[in-house]
Amino acid sequence: MSGRVAIVETPRLIIGTWLPTDRDLFREINADPKVMEFFPFRRNHEEADAFLGKLNGMMTMEGMGFYAVVLKQTLQPVGFCGLSHPNLPGIFPDDAIEIGWRLATRFWGNGYANEAADALLGKAFRRRTVDTVVSFAVETNHRSTNVMKRLGMRRMQELDFNHPRVPDTHPHLKRHVVYAISRQEWQARRPA
């Protein structure tokens, strides 16, 4: 797998570092209006390339960062999944950990986001410092909230918020719903 470093593997996926050859896929997911339906911005090719160039440097071996999600069978990249700090002061504590995902539309409907996220949650909860992982999405982004539900995340209605970085030009993208899962809840879902 020339050069790609896997952080975690699942039955169907390799979750790992990015390669220069992932550029076309990364451009695709950043420009596709269907993928970006719930984001108030798009990235053109140059911006996508610049962002991709930074991602490997933002990763830690404990699982923080936005990782490439790659099909084991074909070594095709399908999107990303990752853990990050939300950086939303006053809404989440500074050390909160968020999980997120984005796949190219042609790979939707196969359970890949679920499988990658479940593996990364495992990574997060094996760190003794991580007790809870949150996830949030525009309230109408049901594909994303369905991933959260399938992962066993709990709806935290009292934490729902209006995203401060969504401009007033996109009022329908402001309201975000929050889900969370604790280490104990995640462990309780593991087979004995």
Ligand X SMILES: CC(C)(COP(=O)(O)OP(=O)(O)OC[C@H]1O[C@@H](n2cnc3c(N)ncnc32)[C@H](O)[C@@H]1OP(=O)(O)O)[C@@H](O)C(=O)NCCC(=O)NCCS
Applying CB under 6 A, which residues contact ligand X? 35, 38, 100-103, 108-114, 137, 141, 143-144, 146-147
Beta strands in the chain (DSSP E): 6-9, 13-16, 65-71, 77-84, 98-103, 132-138, 154-155, 161-162, 175-182
- How open is the CA angle 110-115-117, to the nearest 5 degrees? 125
SS3 at position 1: coil
Task: For the CB of residue 51, give the shortest distance to ligand X in the complex, in Å.
Answer: 15
At closest approach, how far in Å is the CB of 188 from ligand X? 20
**Least distance from ligand X to the Cβ atom of residue 145, Å:** 8
Instruction: Kindly tell me which of 130 and 147 has the beta carbon lying closer to ligand X.
Output: 147
Smallest distance, ligand X to C-beta of residue 143, A: 4
d(CA 70, CA 9): 10
- Nearer to ligand X by C-beta: 2 or 74? 74
Contact 12, 72 (CB under 8 A): yes
Q: Indicate the residue among 128 and 163 with the shorter CB distance to ligand X.
A: 163
Residue least distant from ligand X (Cβ): 111
